[in-house]
Amino acid sequence: MTDGTHRRAPLLDGRLSAAMALAQGAQVFADIGADHGRLSAVMLLSGARSALVADISAAALEKARKRLHALGLDNRATFAVADGLAALDALKQPPDTVFVLGMGGETIGGILRRGHTRLGGAALILGAQTDLPMVRRTVCEVGYRIRSEVIASAGGRVYVLMRCTPARADEAVYTEREYMLGPGLLRAPSSEWQRVLKRREHLLQQEISAMEKAGLEKDRERLAMNRRELGYVTGQLRHM
């Protein structure tokens, strides 16, 4: 690769940089929902052998294809327009790492439930923008466990990213507290996480107050869940 090509390599924001760090050592990876292809390009430039670059949108995938072509990387990539992990069918063997980033938690949960049998033991790098407890629960349901969680910032937002691998035979599922707070964050608490928890505590207090004032029957289950989560968050902050 020429120096000129390296100068044209895309820059990654804090979120994508953190995702890449969680995938250290990956050689054959799949970027599900690749969009602009920045992550795939930098992964290939940084030593990965090959990539599956996939998106449900043909227009988005074309942007990624053009980016990798401009960098001379398209001969090391397979491109697939596909829904979620169905894209893995384009490969002869499973990748060692699969990225699923930049989507809501419900979307990522659905991708995992529908396609987990295609993973073949690949490590998962997940970056849900919402519904983290549900994503963690789904990870367990499909036979994986969270090995690490990191906090990253990009565009004024804060993200939690997870590295997950297949569960060991004797590995228990998580408790509700772990689903809500994050087993990786509980194992390695940080001052950054403390700030995230404080913001979450404030948001939960506001939501609970609004639901209590409204007194709607449809909010009863959500209200109970928010109260339990607030208890876990407040308890963790006291412990820290």
pLDDT tens for each residue of 97-125 = 999 999 999 999 999 999 999 999 999 99
Mean pLDDT for 195-208 is 97
pLDDT value for 9: 77
Mean pLDDT for 10-25 is 95
pLDDT tens digits, one per residue of 19-30: 999 999 999 999
pLDDT value for 94: 87
pLDDT value for 7: 46
User: 179, 188, 180: which is closest to 204 by C-alpha?
Assistant: 180
Task: Identify the DSSP state of 185.
Answer: H
